[in-house]
Structure 1
Amino acid sequence: MPAGLIALAIGGFGIGLTEFVIMGLLPEVAASFDVTEAAAGWLISGYALAVVVGALGITAATIRLPRKPVLMALLVLFIAGNALSALAPTYGVMMSGRVIAALCHGAFFGIGAVVAASLVPANRKAGAVAIMFTGLTAANVLGVPFGTFLGQQFGWRSTFWVIAAIGVVALVGIWRLVPAAPAVTDAAGEASVGPVSSPAAPSLRTELGAFRSGQVWLSLTVTVLGFGGMFGAFTYIAYTLTEVSGFASGAVPWLLVLFGGGLVVGNWLGGRLADRSIDGTLLGFLGALTVVLVLFALLASSPVATGVLLFLMGGFGFGTVPGLQTRIMGYADGAPTLASSANIAAFNLGNALGAFVGGLAITAGLGYTSPLWVGAVITAAAVVVMAFAAVDARRTTRRMDGVRASAATPTRPTHAVA
Structure 2
Amino acid sequence: MGLWLIPLVLAMFAFGTGDFIVAGILREIAAEFDISEALAGQLVTVYSVVYAVAAPLMAVLAARWSRRLIMIGGMSLFVISNVVATVSTIYAVLMATRVTSAIAAAAITPLCFSTAGTLPPEDKRGKALGFIGGGLMLAMVLGVPLGTWIGGRHGWQAAFWFVAGIGVLVLIGMIFLLPPLPAGDDATLSARLKPLTKGSILRGLSCMLLVSAGGMMMMTYIAPVMYAAGRVTTDGIAVLFLAAGLAGVVATVIGGAGADRLGPIRMVILGASLLMASMLTLSAMVGWGATPLALLVVLAVVWSLAIGTLNPPLQVWLISRSGPAANEVMALNSSVTYLGTSAGGVIGGLLLAQWGPISLPLVAAAEVAIVVALLLTAPDRAVPAPADQPATAATGAA
Q: Provide TM-score, normalisation by structure 2.
A: 0.87
Q: Which structure 2 residues correspond to residues 110-149 of structure 1 after superposition, within 5 A?
A: 110-149=110-149
How far residue 277 of structure 1 moved from its aligned partner, in angstroms, is 1.2
Which piece of structure 1 moves more, 35-44 or 234-243? 234-243
Whole-Å separation in 2 of the counterparts to 1:158 and 1:239: 33
**Within the alignment, does 1:338 sit opposite 2:328 as a pair?**
yes
Whole-Å separation in 1 of the counterparts to 2:295 and 2:41: 30
* Structure with greater Cα Rg: 1
Give the letter for the 1:59 counterpart.
A
2:201 to 216, 220, 223: 216
Give the letter for the 1:335 counterpart.
A
How far residue 79 of structure 1 moved from its aligned partner, in angstroms, is 1.4
Whole-Å separation in 1 of the counterparts to 2:367 and 2:233: 34
8 A Cα contact 2:12 2:109, kept in partner:
yes
How far residue 17 of structure 1 moved from its aligned partner, in angstroms, is 0.7
Whole-Å separation in 1 of the counterparts to 2:21 and 2:228: 23
Structure 1's 379 and 219: CA in aligned 2 closer, same or farther, altered over 3 A?
Answer: farther
How far residue 70 of structure 1 moved from its aligned partner, in angstroms, is 0.6
Which piece of structure 1 moves more, 18-27 or 276-285? 18-27
1:391 to 351, 363, 377: 377
Aligned residues: 377
CA deviation digits over 1:224-283, x for unaligned, max 9?
A: 011101101112324545676444535544532222111111101100111121012112
The aligned residue for residue 324 of structure 1 is 314
Whole-Å separation in 2 of the counterparts to 1:34 and 1:315: 42
How far residue 397 of structure 1 moved from its aligned partner, in angstroms, is 5.2
Structure 1's 85 and 308: CA in aligned 2 closer, same or farther, altered over 3 A?
Answer: farther
8 A Cα contact 1:53 1:103, kept in partner:
no
8 A Cα contact 2:207 2:374, kept in partner:
no
8 A Cα contact 1:56 1:338, kept in partner:
yes
Aligned-CA RMSD value = 2.4
Structure 1's 238 and 149: CA in aligned 2 closer, same or farther, altered over 3 A?
Answer: farther
8 A Cα contact 1:60 1:338, kept in partner:
yes
Give the letter for the 2:344 counterpart.
G
**Within the alignment, does 1:226 sit opposite 2:211 as a pair?**
yes
Structure 1's 252 and 332: CA in aligned 2 closer, same or farther, altered over 3 A?
Answer: same
Structure 1's 75 and 233: CA in aligned 2 closer, same or farther, altered over 3 A?
Answer: same
The aligned residue for residue 285 of structure 1 is 271
Structure 1's 38 and 286: CA in aligned 2 closer, same or farther, altered over 3 A?
Answer: farther
8 A Cα contact 1:229 1:376, kept in partner:
no
CA deviation digits over 1:204-235, x for unaligned, max 9?
A: 32321121211000000000011101101112
Instruction: Structure 1 unaligned segments of length 5 or more: list them.
Output: 182-194, 399-418
How far residue 149 of structure 1 moved from its aligned partner, in angstroms, is 1.4
Structure 1's 389 and 244: CA in aligned 2 closer, same or farther, altered over 3 A?
Answer: closer
Q: Which structure 2 residues correspond to residues 141-160 of structure 1 after superposition, within 5 A?
A: 141-160=141-160
Give the letter for the 1:3 counterpart.
L
Structure 1's 132 and 202: CA in aligned 2 closer, same or farther, altered over 3 A?
Answer: farther
8 A Cα contact 1:232 1:375, kept in partner:
no
8 A Cα contact 2:271 2:310, kept in partner:
yes
Identity %: 27
Give the letter for the 1:386 counterpart.
V
Whole-Å separation in 1 of the counterparts to 2:365 and 2:324: 29
Q: What SS does the aligned partner of 2:54 have?
A: helix
Q: Which structure 2 residues correspond to residues 250-329 of structure 1 after superposition, within 5 A?
A: 252-275=237-260, 276-299=262-285, 301=289, 302=291, 303-329=293-319
The aligned residue for residue 19 of structure 2 is 19
Structure 1's 332 and 145: CA in aligned 2 closer, same or farther, altered over 3 A?
Answer: same
The aligned residue for residue 363 of structure 2 is 377
Q: Which structure 2 residues correspond to residues 67-82 of structure 1 after superposition, within 5 A?
A: 67-82=67-82
The aligned residue for residue 101 of structure 1 is 101
Which piece of structure 1 moves more, 374-383 or 262-271? 374-383
8 A Cα contact 2:229 2:285, kept in partner:
no
Whole-Å separation in 2 of the counterparts to 1:176 and 1:83: 23
The aligned residue for residue 390 of structure 2 is none
How far residue 392 of structure 1 moved from its aligned partner, in angstroms, is 2.9
8 A Cα contact 1:207 1:337, kept in partner:
no
The aligned residue for residue 63 of structure 1 is 63
Whole-Å separation in 2 of the counterparts to 1:379 and 1:50: 30
Instruction: Structure 2 unaligned segments of length 5 or more: list them.
Output: 383-398
How far residue 360 of structure 1 moved from its aligned partner, in angstroms, is 2.1
Whole-Å separation in 2 of the counterparts to 1:296 and 1:29: 37
CA deviation digits over 1:154-195, x for unaligned, max 9?
A: 1222111111111111111011101014xxxxxxxxxxxxx8
Indicate the structure whose relative CO is greater, using CA pairs within 8 Å and at least 6 residues apart. 2
Structure 1's 306 and 45: CA in aligned 2 closer, same or farther, altered over 3 A?
Answer: farther
8 A Cα contact 1:11 1:170, kept in partner:
yes
Q: Provide TM-score, normalisation by structure 1.
A: 0.83
CA deviation digits over 1:110-142, x for unaligned, max 9?
A: 111122233311111111111222211111111
Whole-Å separation in 2 of the counterparts to 1:40 and 1:345: 23
The aligned residue for residue 344 of structure 2 is 354
Structure 1's 45 and 391: CA in aligned 2 closer, same or farther, altered over 3 A?
Answer: same
Whole-Å separation in 2 of the counterparts to 1:291 and 1:81: 44
8 A Cα contact 1:286 1:320, kept in partner:
yes
